[in-house]
Amino acid sequence: MKRNYKTESEALAKAIDMAIECVEKVWPAGFNEKQKEHFVTVYLYFKELCLHSEPEFKNLQSLKSLENDVFIYFQEGKDETVELFWKRLKEEGLGFKRKNPLTAILKRRKIKNKYEYDYVTDTIVALQQEGTITESQANELKNMLGNYEMKVKNSYE
């Protein structure tokens, strides 16, 4: 089936509804009431962007960027809310897949974009503490972070 903005945005909007439903049904680990309300507010905003974008942003590339924002919590998180979300997506057959960006980053030995940079920055300490990555991998990731930062800095000079 050919991908188009309307179909993809409607699927993402359904995923956003499920994200909100899961957060309201199963309290995310470490969230307080204010954080939960903020999550819902942000995701409702994402849904609005998804379904009612300005014409210049109604394209699959912009939608992919929004999709990364929508899924970041659910790609990085490891709690009952996250597991429920992925289970619900699978039940609905929306076609979104849980990815582990760490595997691709370590294999390629390079951080290729802001989303991967943010992922590594946000998770490196926890991944090392829980034994998901070795000290050697953590050091390699730290070097990749530095290389990415230099690349970004040089692109602005």
100, two tokens: 């582990």
Condensed to tens digits (0 to 9), the pLDDT of residues 97-149 reads 888 888 889 999 999 988 889 889 988 898 888 888 999 999 999 999 999 99
User: Residue 123 CA to chain centroid, in angstroms?
Assistant: 12
Q: Give the 3-state secondary structure of residue 13.
A: helix
Q: pLDDT at position 42, please?
A: 97
- Indicate the pLDDT class of residue 1, thresholds 50, 70 and 90: low
Closest CA to 70 of 45, 95, 91: 45
Cα(124)–Cα(147) distance, rounded to whole angstroms? 16
Cα(17)–Cα(63) distance, rounded to whole angstroms? 16
Q: pLDDT at position 46, please?
A: 97
Which residues touch 154 (CB under 8 Å, ≥6 apart)?
A: none
> Average pLDDT, whole number, for the chain?
91
Which tops the pLDDT comparison, 157 or 67? 67
> Domain limits of the chain?
5-92, 101-155
Is the alpha carbon torsion for 124, 87, 108, 2 positive or negative?
A: negative
Closest CA to 130 of 102, 109, 110: 102
